[in-house]
Each structure stands twice: as structure tokens, then as C-alpha cells.
Amino acid sequence: MVQVGDVVPDIEVSALVDNETKKVKLSDYHGKWVVLIFYPEDFSYICPTELKEASARYSEFQKLWAEVLSVSTNTVYSHQSWRAQDPEIGKIPYPMLADPEGKFCKAFNSYISKEGVSLRSTFIVDPDGVIQALEVNSNSIGRNIDETLRKLKAAIYVRDHPGALCPASWEPGMRTLKADKGAANKPKMS
């Protein structure tokens, strides 16, 4: 089971990238931040709302040198069909990974074996392939892409500022904390 601080597994899967089928693995994105958006299935209720929101904010992820990858247990053919039937899904600019065997989902502990689908999970991976944040929701609760972006910005900030701590609801430009090693980890404002 992967956790924050673990290096991500490097499993190759098929993906729909710019309407073409390609083989991808996470090491292809080494040197960039990666936001993995696991979702249960194509042609569902909540999933398109999340993928469309991530698509609408994609340029913001790119400005942060981050790639978004969506992952489901559907096939590439299902992704293609979904894109053809829903014009907004058809505009998704990021790779849509296909994991019909569930091996990618299993490696990230997001696979529901009884249903053959993924939990609604988000992983933020740093340029070295290390997981910096993860979130798992019930499949009946959609995620907040604004919060995913906020967490990504915080992860980038603390990577660029060793020893910095981002308090609750931190946004760029706000004050951070710094642990005072001599005072039983009582934080100081910085």
C-alpha cells in the first residue's frame, strides 16, 4: 500500500493521449509534478464533473509544471467512446489512463475488487516520483479541484523552502510556519 513519502510504482498502462492510444508509465513524467486523479468509471454521474473541472483548470496545473493524469479501470476504447459522446469530455487535454486489469489501481490501493473499479482518489507526486499528498473519497463524494491545486502549490512551496510549514488553508503569499527545533517543535511564523 503506497503512502505519503513513498516512491510511486512505475507500471506501464495504455492511455488515451490527444485521441491516440499510447503506452505510458509514471517515469515518463520524471522531473515534473504529477496529479493522479483516480475515478470509478466512464459514463457515470460524478466522474465527468471532476474531469471537466480538472480540464478547465489544466492550464493552471501546467503553469506549476504539473501533469494531470486521470485513471479508471475502463479501456481506452471506452475513453474514446465517452469523448465522442460528450463534447466537454472530448476536450480533455490530459492523458486518460486505461487500467482494465486494475494493476495500476491496485498498486495505489484504490481498487475495489468486488466492483472492479477504483475509489475516487487523488495523489500528488513530486518531480522525484515521491508521493507528497493523497486523498481518498467515497465514490459518492466528488473531489474539489481547487483544493487539489492548493495542495499542489503548498507541496511545491515546502519543496522549494526546506523547513517551511504551510498552515491550514494556506495559499501562496500567506505567512508560513517554521518549526523551532529547540522548543519541542513549537512553530514560529515566518
Amino acid at residue number 83? R
Residue 37 and residue 51 in contact, taking contact as beta carbons nearer than 8 Å? yes
Q: Provide the grid cell at 36.
A: 493522479
Where does 39-145 show beta strands of DSSP type E? 66-72, 96-98, 111-112, 117-118, 120-125, 131-137
CB atoms within 10 A of CB 32: 14
Catalytic residue, from 16, 47, 96, 105: name it.
47
40 vs 109: CA distance, rounded Å: 13
Residue 176 and residue 167 in contact, taking contact as beta carbons nearer than 8 Å? yes
Residue 36 and residue 81 in contact, taking contact as beta carbons nearer than 8 Å? no
| 47 carries an active-site annotation | yes
Among 121, 110, 111, CA closest to 148: 121
Residue 136 and residue 13 in contact, taking contact as beta carbons nearer than 8 Å? no
Among 147, 190, 145, CA closest to 171: 147
Catalytic residue positions, numbered:
47
